Amino acid sequence: MTRKILLVDDEPNIRLVLGAVLEQAGYTVDVAEDGYVALRKVQQSRPDLVITDLRMPNMNGFELLSVLRTRYPELPTIAISGEFLAVDVQEGPLADAFFQKGNYALPDFLERISALLRAPVQRKSHTQAPVWAPTGDAPVMLTCTSCLRSFPIDLCEGGSPTPRRTNCILCGEQLDIQLIAIGVAQSST
C-alpha cells in the first residue's frame, strides 16, 4: 500500500521539488499552501504523515501543528523551516521531527519519514496541544485549536512576554501558549 504524505509550504518551488523527491521515493503526495488548506485536506482524506513549513501566511505551521496535535494526535508530523533553528524548535510537543531547510541530508530526511510511518505514534487522544507563538514586540494572530478561528493577541504587554495561557475570544476555549524565540537561521556556506 502506498503511503500518503501531505506537504504544506507556501513556496510553490518547495512543493514542486520536495513533492517530486517524495514521489520518487514511492509516496503519494498531496500539497497545500497554508494551514487552512492543509486542514481541509486532512478532513477530506487523512494522510499518513504531514510535513509542514513553519512560516506561512494565513495559518502558519505552528498553528497547524497545534491543531493536528489536538484533533489528530496519532498523525505523525515533520516540521521544516529555513527561519528557525533546531535549538529553537523542540521535537515532540511541536512535531515528531524537525529539519532546517537546506541543512539536512536527503537520505536522513527520507529515513525519518520511513521510521515515523513504520512505528505508530502513541499519544493520548483529546489532549489540548499548546499554541506555538513567536515572541516579539508586536501582536500576533493565534488560531484556536477548537473553533479554528483566528484572533489577535498581544504577547508583550509591559515588556515581558505574556500571557502563557489565554481564552479564545470567539469560543472561549482555554489555550496554552508556548512561546518561541525567533532565531534567524544562518546559511552554512
Task: Report if pTM > 0.75.
Answer: no
Rounded distance between C-alpha atoms, residue 173 and residue 137, angstroms: 25
Torsion of CA 71, 118, 37, 98, to 10 degrees: 90
Using CA atoms, how far residue 16 sits from 1, 9, 11, 38, 101, in Å, is: 23, 10, 9, 16, 15
**101, 139: one domain:** no
**112, 139: one domain:** no
**34, 101: one domain:** yes
CATH number for the domain that contains residue 46: 3.40.50.2300
The count of structural domains within the chain is 2
**74, 34: one domain:** yes
From 118, 141, 158, give the residue that closes a domain. Answer: 118
Tell me the residue range of the domain where 69 lies: 4-118
pLDDT in tens, 76-109: 999 998 765 544 444 456 788 989 888 889 999 9
pLDDT value of residue 4 = 97
**11, 96: one domain:** yes
**143, 58: one domain:** no
pLDDT value of residue 145 = 73
Name the residue with higher pLDDT: 158 or 139: 139
**94, 17: one domain:** yes
Nearest to 58 by CA among 32, 79, 84: 32
Which three cell numbers mark 173?
476555549
**96, 27: one domain:** yes
pLDDT in tens, 141-178: 677 777 777 777 766 554 454 556 777 777 777 777 76
Strands (E), 34-139: 49-53, 77-81, 97-100, 131-134
Which three cell numbers mark 150?
483566528
**13, 91: one domain:** yes
From 118, 148, 163, give the residue that closes a domain. Answer: 118
Which three cell numbers mark 145?
485549536
